[in-house]
Every structure is written in structure tokens, then in C-alpha cells.
């Protein structure tokens, strides 16, 4: 099923939505308050694979440089 985010501009619209839900034509899902999800779920899939791979390779290079400094 397709999900939509709807901003209601009038109280009558809320009653219409509730009537559609009562007719079992739609299902109303209440908004979850921000922060109720874990950070990993909030940010999951936000970076492209390419960007994530670039960041990962940069971090690995910096770790290698750090390790080399510690061995001297």
C-alpha cells in the first residue's frame, strides 16, 4: 500500500479522515515523536553507497596513519 503524509488545514478534514478510517478505506498512523527511534534507524539509508564507501575508505586511511604514528 502507498503511504501519504497529509497536513490537515481544517478540523472538518480530521472528521472526514476518521470517517474514511471507520469505513475501512484507510488506516490512520499517528506520528511518532522525534527521537523515539534509535539513531541507526533514523539515519539508515540516508547516504548513498558511493558516499558511504568514500567515507569508509577515508576513515580506514586515517586509522592506518594513526597506527603508523603509534609504532614509531
Distance (Å, whole) CA 57 – CA 70 = 20
Q: Residue 61's domain spans which residues?
A: 48-72
Residue at 18 is within a domain: no
Question: Is 22 a member of any domain?
Answer: no
pLDDT at res. 35: 64
Q: Is 66 inside a domain boundary? A: yes
Spatial neighbors of 18 by CB under 8 A, at least 6 apart, are 28
Q: What is the pLDDT along the chain (72 residues), one digit of tens a residue?
A: 788 888 999 999 999 999 999 999 999 988 767 667 788 887 888 889 999 999 999 999 999 999 888 877
Q: What is the pLDDT of residue 59?
A: 96
- Give the total number of structural domains in the chain: 1
Q: How far is C-alpha 21 from the geometric centre of its chain's CA atoms?
A: 26
Q: Is residue 54 part of a domain?
A: yes
DSSP 31: P
- Residue 12 domain flag: no
pTM of the model: 0.42
Amino acid at each position: 500500500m502507498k503511504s501519504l503524509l497529509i497536513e490537515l488545514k481544517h478540523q472538518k478534514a480530521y472528521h472526514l479522515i476518521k470517517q474514511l478510517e471507520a469505513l475501512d478505506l484507510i488506516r490512520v498512523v499517528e506520528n511518532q515523536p522525534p527521537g523515539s527511534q534509535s539513531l541507526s534507524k533514523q539515519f539508515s539509508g540516508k547516504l548513498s553507497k558511493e558516499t558511504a564507501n568514500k567515507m569508509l575508505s577515508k576513515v580506514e586511511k586515517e586509522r592506518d596513519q594513526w597506527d603508523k604514528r603509534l609504532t614509531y
